[in-house]
Amino acid sequence: MNLIVRPRRLRINKNIRSLIRETKLSVDDLIYPLFLVEGENIKEEISSMPGNYHFSIDMLEEEIREISNLGIKAVLLFGVPNEKNPTGSEAYNDDGIVQKGIREIKKINKDILVITDICMCQYTDHGHCGIINEEGVDNDITLEYLGKIALSHAKAGADMVAPSDMMDGRVGKIREVLDANGFTNVSIMAYSAKYASAFYGPFRDAAHSKPQFGDRKTYQMDPSNSNEALREVELDIIEGADIVMIKPALPYLDIIKKVKDNFNVPIAAYNVSGEYAMIKAAIEKGLVDEKAIIFEVLTSIKRAGADIIITYFAKDIAKWIGEEM
Ligand code: PBG
């Protein structure tokens, strides 16, 4: 054959392949989620998310050191409180589980970026992401609570807050409250395009945050929509979001790409619990190669346009990137 152009020339060996590689994962891209529980001496594997643990505050030191040694620079904290009530008051308790966790982590390593999830579903007895009225979740009343939670986290030392509730106007409200209290340098990573997804199942087991009635479809987005994601992202940017997030990641790579093509703020993607659990299950069954599939999946998220990846695989991937260097 007289072929002038042969794409295989650039695949001929490892060094050529790495020379022309367009997308490379870096530990700098990663955020690792952590689940904090009350009590002492607890490091318990989360059954729905093997390889991830519930930590009591006193057990964080070893974990934080390990994360830092791997080069991971940011963690995302979720609290699992003992006490739940209609207004989720443990969420804005200055001595609540997340607030204590922030202070402890900063004591262990003041440089690690501490990001906190701002939501109410783990804290309310009904398991919804806001305050309930006769019609459902009351948007505007919930905003007051979200402001209080964000302020409480900022006071405890959070570097960044990440509202995941999907109420309208929450980014603006949180920005206003933080600024009014002198926290102008605390940034906001908004869960902007957060879909009403079945992929959150394992997380809801881990965080005990399943809604006790109904579902989250009046506030989280319909998986069928993508223009709506652009509107949500645009609104969050106008309201002051520093980083916008798409969640879940894998079934929504098209949304990541679309947001990347339309906006110029940093984009985060959340490789959520169901994506993790699904891949883990396939690995455990011996159906797929562990390292290869995790690299492939996370690379696809970055290739689609994500600058930041929140993933339960963060420690694995950081280890492997370290070994390759
Ligand atoms: C809280 C919240 C959820 C997740 C992150 N923050 C659950 C939900 O909305 O039901 C899911 C994360 C994951 O599945 O890994 N609202």
Cβ atoms of 161 and 189 within 8 Å: the answer is: yes
CA of 12 to the centre of ligand 1 (A): 43
What's the CA gap between 184 and 181, in Å, rounded?
8
Is residue 166 a part of any domain in this protein?
A: yes
pLDDT of residue 24: 97
pLDDT of residue 30: 98
Per-residue pLDDT tens digits for 80-138: 999 999 999 999 999 999 999 999 999 999 999 999 999 999 999 999 999 999 999 99
The helix (run of H) or strand (run of E) holding residue 80 is: strand 74-80
- CA-nearest residue, atom 6 of ligand 1: 164
2 occurs within a structural domain = no
Confidence of residue 36 (pLDDT cuts 50, 70, 90): very high
Q: Helix, strand or coil for residue 177?
A: helix
- Whole-number Å distance, alpha carbon 58 to ligand 1 midpoint, is 25
Of the candidates 79, 13, 31, 98, which has an alpha carbon nearest to the alpha carbon of residue 271? 31
Distances, alpha carbon 281 to alpha carbons 19, 34, 204, 248, 271, in Å: 34, 21, 18, 18, 15
pLDDT value for 325: 78
CATH number at residue 304: 3.20.20.70
Confidence (pLDDT) at 284: 96
16: in domain: no
269 CB within 6 A, ligand 1:
no
**Exposed, middle or buried: residue 275 (CB in 10 Å: 0-12, 13-18, 19+)?**
buried
Supply the pLDDT for residue 33: 98
pLDDT tens across 175-213, in order?
A: 999 999 999 999 999 999 999 999 999 999 999 999 999
pLDDT of 324 over the 90 cut: no
Residue 17 lies inside a defined structural domain of this protein: no
Q: Domain limits at 307? A: 24-324
273 in contact with ligand 1, CB cutoff 6 A: yes
Q: Please state the domain count of the chain.
A: 1
How is 5-65 classified by DSSP, letter by letter? Answer: --GGGGGSSHHHHHHT------GGGEEEEEEEESSSS-EEE-TTSTT-EEEEGGGHHHHHH
H or E segment at 74?
strand 74-80
Residue 264 located in a structural domain: yes
CA of 53 to the centre of ligand 1 (A): 16
Phi, psi of 124, rounded to the nearest 5 degrees:
-90, 145
Q: Percentage of the chain surpassing pLDDT 90?
A: 99
Q: Is 40 annotated as a binding residue?
A: no
- Decide if 164 is inside a domain: yes
pLDDT tens digits for range 216-251 = 999 999 999 999 999 999 999 999 999 999 999 999
Asked if the structure places residue 272 within a domain, the reply is yes
Nearest CA-CA partner of 178 in 158, 160, 162, 154: 154
Q: Is 121 in the pocket of ligand 1 (CB under 6 A)?
A: yes
Amino acid 295: pLDDT: 98
74 pLDDT above the threshold of 90: yes
Residues annotated as part of the active site = 194, 247
Does residue 216 have a known ligand-binding role? Answer: yes
* Interface ipTM above 0.90: yes
| CA distances for 78 relative to 5, 100, 134, 238, 321, angstroms | 52, 12, 28, 27, 26
Query: 124: Cβ below 6 Å to ligand 1?
Result: no
Q: For ligand 1, say whether the CB of 164 is within 6 Å of any of its atoms.
A: yes
In a domain, 131, yes or no: yes
